[in-house]
Structure formats: structure tokens, C-alpha cells
Amino acid sequence: MFAIDKFKFKAEKETDKKGVYVIGPLPKGYGVTLGNTMRRILLSSIEGAAVTSVKVAKVKHEYSTLPGVLDDMLSIILKLKQLALKCHSDKPQIIELKVKGKKVVKAGDLKLTSEVTLANPDLEITELTTKNAKLDMKITVEKGAGYMPTDEGKRSQVGVIPVDANFSPVKRVIMEIGKTRVGQKIDLDQIKLEIHTNGAVNPREAVEEASKIYHTLTKRLKSAISGKDIEEKDEEEVKEKGKKTEKKEDTISDLDIDKLNLSVRLTNSLLKAGYENLTELEGKSIEELTEIRGLGKSSAEELIDIMKSYKLEVKE
């Protein structure tokens, strides 16, 4: 079976709102497994910001109209739901829209707080058709993930109109599973992800966040299966890794050519060839070892035997 961890991630195309990425090669069948998981996380779990309520001067409900304003409140709210916002605070933010006179009202007319940024200032919200027309709004922006239905409890505040919110900055994900090959293996999977965002988050940021969520999920599952807390297990892994590193360093120092009890001819040949530690020869083939200058047949056989005794790989 092809190794599951040998795949690579490559960007074929990237803009502020669209990214096309290729992931592979993967063992047969793993394209659907990984691809579907990443797609669902991208569409449902990436954090974003959205409008959750509005308060408009001289307006009591979403079916109201204002003199000199082309659209009714319901149409204006639908436009506000298209705002590509990014909120850097966990607390709700109040942004304002105060315009008057004859003009086309755009998202760029919004007065933002220091914690909120806007990616689509050219979005048309409505139009004021007379010189005396006014539009005065206070808009609540919150951070979240996925979909949140209308909070009707907010209507207890006079003039507040609650809005259902889709926080996800990822608007569409197209996944294709294709075939690729590595050497003689011709049935390997390859994933092609096409990610579209609203611009508040770029596609690479979205796919990085999705991979973090996927990693956290698998890590938590592993912890649940083992019955150990994640933090506790991580500490054990760090300690074990430290012990292995120390042991490895000690082992390497013990394999210095001049410290090993090798024959004089073998020792001199290796040192003259520039080798100071036996580990430097690991992975070489028998042919490469026998070609080291000054080694006879018996010395080469001695070298191969000593490397195998220390479990150092010698290619046949």
C-alpha cells in the first residue's frame, strides 16, 4: 500500500476570493475520505463575521419603508447579509450607516469600528432618491461559525430587528477526485479543491484553518480512545522524545570511527575517505562501500558486518 503521509499540497491558482489546490498522491480510496472531510469543514466550521441585528431610526419592523429610500427594510437587510466582514473581537461590534441626500448607498459608507474590516466596499445597499432622504442605522456584527437562526429575543429592545446569520466566509467548495501515478503505481488518488470565499478570508487561510480543525478532531479522538487527557499524553510524548534524542546522540558518539575496535586498514581507509562516524555510511549500497578507496574484500565485508550489527541500513 502506498504510504498515507507521502502526499503534497500544491496551489494551482490563488486570488483573494478563489483558490485551486491539489492534494496527492494518496492511497486508493483516501481521496474521497480526506476530500469530503475537508469540504464539510470548509463549508460549516470556518469562523467569520456577520450582521445579527439592525436598528433603524423611525423604523419598527423589517416590513417598513422610509420616505426617499428606494428599497424597503427587508430588501436592505438582505443586502446587509452580503457584507464580507471580518471581526477581530469576540464581543459584538456596532457599526453605523448615516447617509442623507440623493445618492447610491454603498457598503463603503459604513462607519466601522477598529475591530471590524470590510472586504466588499462597492456592494450597493440601497439608493436615496430625494434631497431630504435620510438613512440612519446601527448594525450589530458578531463573530461565529456556521449558521445562526434569528434570535427573536432581540425584539424586546425597541426598534431592533434580528437577522439570521451565515458566518462562513467560504461560499462554495468544488471537490474533484482524480487519478495519479507514482512509478508503477497507477491507481493513486488526487484531490482537487476549488474554494470560493467572500474575500474577508482568503482561500489559503480557509484551508489552513480547516486543516487545524481536522487535526484537533483526530487528536481528540485519539485521546478518547486511549483514555488519556491530551495535555497529559503530550507531556509524555515530549519526555519520551527527549529520551530518544539523548539516546540517539549517545549512540552516534559511540560510533565514531576512531572509537570503534576496527582493523587498522579499515580505520585508516575510512578516515582518509573523510568518514568520521559510522552513521555517515548508512543507506549506502554494498557496491558503494566496496568502492571506498583502500578497502579490500575482507575489509569491506568487515565494514558491512559491523554496520549490520549496529542496525545501520546497507542496501543490497
Q: What is the CATH number of the domain that holds 256?
A: 1.10.150.20
Domain boundary among 129, 151, 166: 166
User: How do residues 122-151 score in pLDDT, each as one tens digit?
Assistant: 999 999 999 999 999 999 999 999 999 988
Q: Is 153 exposed, middle or buried (0-12, 13-18, 19+ CB in 10 A)?
A: exposed
Residue 250 has a pLDDT of 44
pLDDT of 187 over the 80 cut: yes
Q: Within this chain, do residues 258 and 123 fall inside the same structural domain, yes or no?
A: no
**What is d(CA 159, CA 57) in angstroms, rounded to the nearest whole number?**
8
The cell for 228 is 488519556
User: Per the domain annotation, does 315 fall within a domain?
Assistant: no
Residue position matching grid coordinates 437587510: 77
Task: Compute the mean pLDDT over every residue in the chain, rounded to the nearest whole number.
Answer: 86
User: Which of 166, 161, 154 shows the shortest CA–CA distance to 54?
Assistant: 161
**What is d(CA 81, CA 258) in angstroms, rounded to the nearest whole number?**
74
User: Per the domain annotation, does 28 fall within a domain?
Assistant: yes
Q: Within this chain, do residues 159 and 178 fall inside the same structural domain, yes or no?
A: no
User: How do residues 33-89 score in pLDDT, each as one tens digit?
Assistant: 999 999 999 999 999 999 999 999 888 888 888 999 999 999 999 999 999 999 999
User: Per the domain annotation, does 236 fall within a domain?
Assistant: no
pTM flag (> 0.75): no
Q: Within this chain, do residues 100 and 194 fall inside the same structural domain, yes or no?
A: no
User: Per the domain annotation, does 266 fall within a domain?
Assistant: yes
Query: What is the span of the domain harbouring residue 290?
Result: 249-309
Q: Within this chain, do residues 207 and 293 fall inside the same structural domain, yes or no?
A: no
- Looking at the 3D structure of the chain, how many domains does it have? 3
Q: Within this chain, do residues 174 and 268 fall inside the same structural domain, yes or no?
A: no
Q: What is the CA radius of gyration of the chain?
A: 32
pLDDT of 293 over the 90 cut: no
User: DSSP characters for 247-277?
Assistant: HHHHHHHHTBGGGS---HHHHHHHHHTT--B
Q: Within this chain, do residues 297 and 193 fall inside the same structural domain, yes or no?
A: no
**How large is the average pLDDT for residues 293-305?**
79
* Helix residue ranges per DSSP H, the chain: 30-44, 73-80, 203-226, 230-254, 264-272, 286-290, 297-309
The cell for 138 is 446601527
pLDDT of 243 over the 60 cut: no
What is the CATH classification number for the domain harbouring 194? 3.30.1360.10
Band of pLDDT at residue 247, cut at 50, 70 and 90 = very low
